[in-house]
Amino acid sequence: MIRSPYECIIIGGGIAGLQAAIQLGRYQHRVLLLDGGKGRSTICRRYHNLMGWPEGISGEALLRSGRAQAEKLGIELAKDTVVMTQIRNGGFRVDTTAGAVYEAKRLLLATGVSDRLPADLDLKPCIGTSLYICPDCDGYEIRGKRTLVLGSGNAGASMALVLRYWTEEIIYINHERQELDAGMHEQLKQKGIAYMEEAVAAVDHTDGKMAGVRLSDGACIEADCGFIAFGRNKVQSDLAEQLGVKLMDNRHIIVDARTKMTSVSHVWAAGDVTVHSEQAAIAMGDGAQAAIWIHKSLIGS
Ligand SMILES: Cc1cc2nc3c(=O)[nH]c(=O)nc-3n(C[C@H](O)[C@H](O)[C@H](O)COP(=O)(O)OP(=O)(O)OC[C@H]3O[C@@H](n4cnc5c(N)ncnc54)[C@H](O)[C@@H]3O)c2cc1C
């Protein structure tokens, strides 16, 4: 059954989507937010760099509070994954895995990026508390500490080199034993970064505080904290592609810097799926800005 069109459908209820929903709710537009519930913000156990949260806040807590705030403003929230988007009757049709079909006058894509984490390792208990992903967010947390980089090939090596800004004691463990580019070994050596090619069997931790790792050959490597960099993260821009939205070669969505509208009229994008530094505060800013311009377009100003 096709229900009456929403003024806007937001696909993705992470940081960018929820901030946009709150802003659109305050304009009192009729908005549906569809979220599959598998965002980066659900796996980050602590954001340390957000203004107002000097002790940090978990992604879950931030999303819970964002959802409550959006609902209070009349935003409809549904836990469902969108599988198809189409341009229809001057607006958009959205189909979900639950079999629901919705229509909207405007569309906001806030579908984020999905991190490639190795299926054979349970990293989640430490993510955001002592095992980090983003040096711009959490390089500060490892300053002067013995740090392991768990990764794959060049992605892990590049991360180790970047982290040298914060600490001198780094060991890069190439878990997937992917070959490094010529010259990379020399660069690591020059920066005093130890290199090991061995699968990690388990991460040792107590209450999310990493103590080190056990390798598949039985060796134990102690550390205060770690970073992960396995490369090949997935930019979730497939829905944008279905609509003919222009993407960068790396599959991030290109948006207008001022309005956050994509190359397709009345389709906006915000957050990590677009081209920018992947940070929570930036995703929030994007979401708010997109919502302002969606509002302008709805009222014709
Ligand atoms: C481990 C980790 C630690 C981080 N630490 C920090 C930090 O300390 N500081 C910082 O500033 N940033 C940090 N980041 C980055 C930050 O989490 C992201 O920049 C932020 O979450 C981006 O928000 P977003 O809304 O674009 O994407 P997300 O928060 O990932 O939300 C995207 C949402 O879209 C939904 N979605 C995707 N496709 C569909 C679909 N087809 N249908 C329905 N829903 C869909 C997903 O389920 C998800 O809920 C970290 C990221 C990770 C992974």
Q: Is the dihedral of CA 221, 223, 225, 227 positive or negative?
A: negative
Same domain, 94 and 192: no
- Does a structural domain hold residue 181? yes
Same domain, 141 and 56: no
| CA of 112 relative to ligand 1 center, distance in Å | 5
Q: Which amino acid is at 161?
A: L
| CA of 160 relative to ligand 1 center, distance in Å | 23
Same domain, 246 and 288: yes
End-of-domain residue from the set 229, 245, 260: 229
| CA of 231 relative to ligand 1 center, distance in Å | 16
Roughly how many angstroms between the first and final C-alpha of the chain, as a whole number? Answer: 33
| CA of 42 relative to ligand 1 center, distance in Å | 7
Please say whether the beta carbons of 281 and 122 come within 8 A. no
- Does a structural domain hold residue 152? yes
Nearest CA to ligand 1 atom 2: 44
Positions of the chain with pLDDT lower than 70, given as ranges: 1-3, 301
| Residue 262: DSSP 8-state | -
Same domain, 17 and 74: yes
Count of beta carbons in the 10 Å neighbourhood of residue 183: 8
Mean pLDDT of the chain: 95
DSSP alpha helix (H) spans, the chain: 15-26, 40-43, 59-72, 135-138, 153-163, 184-190, 238-242, 280-299
- Does a structural domain hold residue 159? yes
- 3-state SS class at 1: coil
pLDDT, residue 2, reads: 53
End-of-domain residue from the set 229, 247, 275: 229
DSSP alpha helix (H) spans, 34-180: 40-43, 59-72, 135-138, 153-163
- Does a structural domain hold residue 134? yes
Kindly report the length of the chain.
301
Same domain, 20 and 159: no
Crossing angle for the helix pair 59-72 and 15-26, to the nearest 10 degrees: 20
Same domain, 101 and 244: yes
- Residue 49 CA, closest ligand 1 atom number: 9
Mutate to test the pocket of ligand 1, among 9, 34, 44 (most ligand atoms within 8 A of CB): 44
The enclosing domain of 189 has a CATH number of: 3.50.50.60
Same domain, 133 and 181: yes
Same domain, 155 and 11: no
Domain that holds residue 163: 124-229
| CA of 60 relative to ligand 1 center, distance in Å | 11
Please say whether the beta carbons of 301 and 11 come within 8 A. no
Same domain, 165 and 95: no
- Does a structural domain hold residue 202? yes
End-of-domain residue from the set 229, 257, 283: 229
- Does a structural domain hold residue 52? yes
The residue among 65, 51, 52 whose CA lies nearest residue 21 is 65
122 to 97, 134, 140, 205, 246: CA distances (angstroms):
28, 19, 24, 11, 36
- Does a structural domain hold residue 1? no
State the total domains in the chain.
Answer: 2
- Which residues, judged by CB distance below 6 Å to any ligand atom, belong to the binding site of ligand 1? 11-17, 34-41, 43-44, 47-49, 81-82, 110-112, 115, 127-128, 133-134, 137-138, 236, 239, 271-272, 278-281, 283
Please say whether the beta carbons of 253 and 113 come within 8 A. no
Q: Which amino acid is at 105?
A: K
Same domain, 32 and 50: yes
- Does a structural domain hold residue 203? yes
170 to 145, 174, 192, 201, 208: CA distances (angstroms):
8, 13, 8, 19, 20
Same domain, 96 and 138: no
Same domain, 29 and 63: yes
